[in-house]
Amino acid sequence: MRYIEPHAHMVSRTTDDYTALVMAGCKAVCEPAFWAGFDRSSVHGFRDYFCQLTDYEPRRAAKFQLPHYSWICINAKEAEDPVFANEVIELIPEFLQRQNVLGVGEIGLNKNSVNEVAIFEKQVALAIEHDQLILVHTPHLEDKLKGTRLILDILKSHQGLDPNRVLIDHVEEHTIRQVLDQGFWGGITLYPESKCTPPRAVDMLEHYGDTNRLWMNSACDWGVSDPLALPKAILELRRRGFSETAIDRFVYQNPVEFLSQSPNFVVPE
């Protein structure tokens, strides 16, 4: 079994988790910039975090022979103060030059507020200007449908944007179709406790009936989460009768295809 973990917040995980990922067949791990479990008190906190994502964490992963990639942005949860958020955005171009950076993400919406929308739009424009891939976080629970529609409308309003270079993450039954039908990529996030379990993710796949432009991820972080959620979902796919070829396409080749649009992504052996 080989797979790519395209969304994991490894700065909050232990070295045992790196060992477990590698032993399960993970060939590369990608880490979007996000909320760190607390609000940072200054722009310097973001600079340190971006250094961690582009310098320290890839070196930590390399000790386990695991390639580590990052996405850079200010997340929606910390985008409520526009002055502060704009200071952080000014830092981003410098970090887009770093060797392990795949694009701008995970940007998006959390509570669908006016300030979040403004900062999201600004970062979409920044990604287009710097010819970067985009990774989008969609809100959870009752805000998801409205937030996803809002995000798709904003993305489509940017003339220079190729939907094939944007992945909308945390899709669910009621949002997967509109994301994929409009030409974007979709991510299914697996959570051990709430939201999307591996069986529910596979239900979604069977229902949608097409695994092109889709990936799965664990989104593991500092909260209750499972860095091995993806290999567990692979077991569920096998149990439901998906062929090894179809599984490989979904958990390895699809992420490789999307991520290879960034010149910094090296296809793992």
Residues at the site binding Zn ion, with contacts judged by CB under 5 A: 34, 219
| Least separation in angstroms between CB 245 and Zn ion | 29
Give the residue with the Cβ less far from Zn ion, 75 or 211: 75
| Least separation in angstroms between CB 7 and Zn ion | 6
Give the residue with the Cβ less far from Zn ion, 73 or 247: 73
Give the residue with the Cβ less far from Zn ion, 103 or 247: 103
| Least separation in angstroms between CB 65 and Zn ion | 24
| Least separation in angstroms between CB 187 and Zn ion | 10
Give the residue with the Cβ less far from Zn ion, 134 or 219: 219
Q: Per-residue DSSP letters for the chain?
A: --EEE----GGGS-HHHHHHHHHHTEEEEEEE----SS--SSHHHHHHHHHIIIIIHHHHHHTTT--EEEEE---GGG-SSHHHHHHHHHHHHHHHTSTTEEEEEEEE-SS--HHHHHHHHHHHHHHHHTT-EEEEE---GGGHHHHHHHHHHHHHH-TT--GGGEEE-S--TTTHHHHHHTT-EEEEE--SSSS--HHHHHHHHHHH---TTEEEE----SSS--TTHHHHHHHHHHHTT--HHHHHIIIIIHHHHHHTTSTT-----
Give the residue with the Cβ less far from Zn ion, 144 or 242: 144
| Least separation in angstroms between CB 237 and Zn ion | 22
